[in-house]
Chains A and B, each alone.
Chain A
């Protein structure tokens, strides 16, 4: 069945460092791909999405590109802030939503 594998955490970075969280997927057909973020004590919030190959989703300085050839959707940010500390989930929707296990990011001042 469809599945999502994302980089295990936790990830700890200093403020202004570069971030990459890897995400790869297995699916038939052409799923939509998402990154959700979960801040402490809150529900999941949609961060960005891409619905077809080579689409780039972007929001709040985060980016991810739908790479069908490598079945990947890596999350990147050039300069992280303390306020980016959260758990990040990669997900796919192929008539059925599947989530990765989440990657906890901690950004230190």
Chain B
């Protein structure tokens, strides 16, 4: 059973640069979620896809952030013009099930450091 995978695992970038992260969910899961986790805190919801449709976005997701899931499989999260405050762990999760209560399974995360 292949779990959720994320790439890269670590990213160091300079302020103002663009970065893109990839998430590959568990293959039969139709729901995909992005979270941000800062040191000493729990994950905070960013956005959610059902198949290729982006159904919900948090207020945390500023206009510098964009997420896509073009074919309903893998997803990308892009941050444009990165700021030091964007430094965090970015987590992806996937789920299946009826309604909105399928159990979410998390990937290992991408740790971003903006210098």
Contacts and interface: CB of A to CB of B under 8 A. Distances in A.
Q: A and B: partners?
A: yes
B108 to A, nearest CB: 4
Contacts of B106: 36, 43-45
B40 A93 contact: no
A31 to B, nearest CB: 9
Interface string A16-35: 00000000000000001010
A32 B41 contact: no
Please report whether the interface of chain B is mostly helix, strand, loop or mixed according to DSSP. Answer: loop
Please report whether the interface of chain A is mostly helix, strand, loop or mixed according to DSSP. Answer: strand
A91 interface: yes
A108 B100 CA distance: 39
Contacts of A96: 45, 56
Given A99-B43, A100-B42, A32 B101 contact: yes
Interface string A37-81: 000001111100101000000000000000000000000000000
Interface residues of B, number: 21
Contact of B42 (A43, A91, A93): A91
Nearest to B111: A41
Nearest to A49: B103
Band of interface residues on A: 20 to 34
Nearest to B3: A43
B4 to A, nearest CB: 8
A95 B42 contact: no
Contacts of A46: 103-105
B44 to A, nearest CB: 8
Interface of A: 4, 32, 34, 36, 42-46, 49, 51, 89, 91, 93, 95-102
Interface of B: 4, 33, 35, 40-45, 56, 91, 93, 100-101, 103-109
Given A43-B106, A101-B42, 7 more contacts: A43-B91, A44-B106, A45-B106, A99-B43, A99-B44, A102-B40, A102-B42
